[in-house]
Amino acid sequence: MQGVLAPVLTPFDSQLNPDPGRFVSFCRKLLDDGCTGLVPFGTTGEANSLSVEERERLLDALLEGGVPAEKLIPGTGCAALPDTVRLSKKAARAGCAGVLVLPPFYYKNPSEEGLYRSFAQAIDKTGEGRLRLYLYHIPQVSQVGIPLRLIERLLKAYPGVVTGIKDSSLELENARAMLRAFPGFEVFVGTEKFLVATLREGGAGCITAIANVNAPAISRAFRERTEERQREIDAVRVVFEKLPMIAALKETVARRTGDARWRAVRPPLVELSPAERATLKEM
């Protein structure tokens, strides 16, 4: 897997239930817009506001709706190990390209050994030879990081299974360190701001929230890998970084589709305020 992947927004209905039909339609559009693949149930998709059963139903809807399993890397990392195993097993059996797994994020400051055992148990208990696991490093949100020494241990213990990482640390040097330390390890940066820089060092691409609204331009930057294309996509990202990201993305989709239901987010998130909406419109 290489290229631009979208961590897909999750649409809700008026009762704040996930809407499978709109979800499938949106995923198919993202692929048409140039995304190499999709990462449902990530941070942008409000995954940790979804139940295990809701994630399973949405994955079933994607597969039944004709979205190719090989284009999907569902987020399966949960605070509870059995939930991670359940979701990972379902994704692997469906033929998904991989799963994106957070570290256990409730207990803070875990030891390296504790983190290693968590990922190892998730792999062993999933028990699927088709499993391909992508680590999810987003310490500013999870408050639990994935250090290089842990990656090294996992790669040695599970070659061919631990495949890559989404590095959302927002630190370019961290991505570079992984690329230099682990040749062949698929490093996806979590922001397109680092896209061209990491591609030049062997990066696999990016998994970026902004692909929900700017996939064609980011995909073009992936193909052409020029500073000009990088500046173009940077200018769009700056707009959204000034606002609550998920709510601003959903506001944009609502405006483009004419479907106000896209504004819905699950608590504790809230939709944009009138002032924030006006700011987004001005930008």
Q: Which residues are catalytic?
A: 43, 106, 136, 166
Instruction: Print the SS3 string covering the chain.
Output: CCEEEECCCCCECCCCCECHHHHHHHHHHHHHCCCCEECCCCCCCCHHHCCHHHHHHHHHHHHHCCCCHHHECCECCCCCHHHHHHHHHHHHHHCCCCEEECCCCCCCCCCHHHHHHHHHHHHHHHCCCCCCEEEEECHHHHCCCCCHHHHHHHHHHCCCCEEEEEECCCCHHHHHHHHHHCCCCEEEECCHHHHHHHHCCCCCEEECCCHHHHHHHHHHHHHHCCHHHHHHHHHHHHHHHCCCHHHHHHHHHHHHHCCHHHHCCCCCCCCCCHHHHHHHHHC
Calpha distance 260→277 (Å, rounded): 13
Beta-carbon count within 10 A of 88 CB: 27
CB 34 within 8 A of CB 49: no
Closest-CA residue to 23 (of 216, 262, 215, 256): 262
